[in-house]
Chain A
Amino acid sequence: MSEAVATPVRIKRLIVESLNLEGMRPEMIEDETPLFGDGLGLDSVDALELVVALEKEFGIKIRSQEIGREVFSSVSTLSRFIEGRT
């Protein structure tokens, strides 16, 4: 079922659902919006939760902070990382 849904869409749904972002809908997140700082405004606690949720959903492993920083820049970078692994 989920194969039919594009990875960026699944990631956006996961962000909104797993982080309980009030007033936010998946379609409001642009592929290139920075997830942290001035973009979506996520914080370090969100990052921890998102890592766990992505690991469960996509079976990925983030092996170092450096990789994590790069991969978690935006939905677009996350999507490329996930599709490169699966």
Chain B
Amino acid sequence: MQREGPAGTVRRVAVSGIGAVCGLGWGVAPLWAGLRSGRPAFVPVRRFDHSQHRTHLASEVGEPPAELARVIPGWRRLSVADRFAVFAASEAVERAGLLVPLSEEAGVYFGSSTGGMYESELFFSDFLRGRRRARLSVLASQQVNGPGDAVARRFGVAGPVETLSSACASGALALAMALDAVRSGEVEVAVAGGADSLCQLTYAGFNSLRSVDEAPCRPFRACRAGMSFGEGAAALVLEPLDRVLARGAEPLAELAGAGASCDAHHMTAPDPTGAGAAAALSAALADAGLGPEAVDFINVHGTGTPLNDAAEWRALQRVFGEQAERIPLVATKALVGHLLGCSGALEAVATILCLQHGELHPAWNGTAECEADPELPVSLVTGEPLPLPAARTAVSTSLAFGGSNAALVFSRWTDRSA
């Protein structure tokens, strides 16, 4: 997806702002504090009655800060996922120091799996109990493009506003699309990311596949028994590097490359050989002009399902050879759960934070009975944060249902990077 800039060189793309909301809290600060602590944020589901479901936990977002309802126009018309998206994008745009409205120079590229599905479920539940109870207004923002559209309205984005829905690769693919748009000069500012809220459709769907762990998920451990649910939003502001530097702002990182592929194998199971995931990883590195030896750590998809982690390990072996056992792996889902269409975006933010702080956040230790899997001899960071001050380059992977794979390459920003 690499295109040449006007001067015959590829435009370098900076991340000038980040924002996030997830089960660890509203904002990047609680996200980083929570990630460093290594304590998973799973609680019994409050959003809906979970008693009839097979499992009962999720990393659920708490009540929003009270002032949001006052300062964000049309707040009560927004779905839960829209609210997450608008909050995360507000934080990112503010960090970038951009003047609002953003105008036609800017675009929005957002991923989501279910948009306002939760609200649709509320409506339908009321409707089935008697149509007079059901309020059509609950459905005002039920579409999957709701989060991206809400972000565009909030910031007056008049350029391209596009929603990408490709299951759990949506967030990463939206960032890849935004990278392309900034490189090509289609936009000067991209607000990109993803948003999804807990809903019964996905909660029951993954449970019906027996893909959910009854305990908090344990990626790459021998006793892993499935994923855990999360929800939230993450947003990144992408701009040409020279534009950010010209206004005296400091980039948080560079988005150096992106790659995508499809297993073309099965509706839900990954290709066990890891060939498709490896292709996305290799494509992303090639797009960044880097070899596998440049990668200092990987933020893995790491859902904790037996199949995903095994296939991902095979993919890492294909790309990194013997180094696959030594590269530190960061498993963000072990703490915040799987944010589905947002996971790639939230993990992009987590990856940038690890690069910025020069340390890798841990997964939780699991229990004493839950040992590392001898079949997957990875170097997963657990227990305490791992200092890695020299880390310059990191990859984040997203491996979705339908075999859709995406990988993003981020470079740490230093004064010497320019």
Interface residues of A (CB under 8 A from B): 18-20, 22, 43, 45-46, 48-49, 52
Q: Which residues of B contact A22 (CB under 8 A)?
A: 76
B135 at the interface (CB under 8 A from A): yes
Q: How many angstroms between the C-alpha atoms of A22 and B135 in the bound complex? A: 15
- B135 near A48: Cβ-Cβ < 8 Å: no
B67-99 CB contacts (< 8 Å) to partner A = 74, 76-77
Known: A20-B135, A48-B137, A49-B136. 15 other contacts (CB 8 A): A18-B135, A19-B137, A20-B137, A22-B76, A43-B74, A43-B77, A45-B77, A45-B136, A45-B137, A45-B140, A46-B137, A48-B136, A49-B135, A49-B137, A52-B136
Q: How many angstroms between the C-alpha atoms of A52 and B131 in the bound complex? A: 13
Which chain B residue has the least Cβ–Cβ distance from A18? B135
- The interface size of chain B toward A, counting residues with CB under 8 Å, comes to 7
Task: Describe B's contact surface by its main secondary structure.
Answer: helix
Q: Which residues of A contact B135 (CB under 8 A)?
A: 18, 20, 49
Q: How many angstroms between the C-alpha atoms of A69 and B245 in the bound complex? A: 51
B40-86 CB contacts (< 8 Å) to partner A = 74, 76-77
Q: Which residues of B contact A49 (CB under 8 A)?
A: 135-137
Q: List 17 A-B contacts (CB under 8 A).
A: A18-B135, A19-B137, A20-B135, A20-B137, A22-B76, A43-B77, A45-B77, A45-B136, A45-B137, A45-B140, A46-B137, A48-B136, A48-B137, A49-B135, A49-B136, A49-B137, A52-B136
Q: How many angstroms between the C-alpha atoms of A52 and B134 in the bound complex? A: 12
Q: How far is the CB of A47 from chain B (nearest CB, A)?
A: 10
Which chain A residue has the least Cβ–Cβ distance from B132? A56
Q: Which residues of B contact A48 (CB under 8 A)?
A: 136-137
Q: How far is the CB of A39 from chain B (nearest CB, A)?
A: 16
Q: How many angstroms between the C-alpha atoms of A49 and B133 in the bound complex? A: 12
Which chain B residue has the least Cβ–Cβ distance from A21? B76
Q: How many angstroms between the C-alpha atoms of A45 and B136 in the bound complex? A: 8
Q: How many angstroms between the C-alpha atoms of A19 and B140 in the bound complex? A: 13
Q: Which residues of B contact A19 (CB under 8 A)?
A: 137
Q: How far is the CB of B82 from chain A (nearest CB, A)?
A: 14
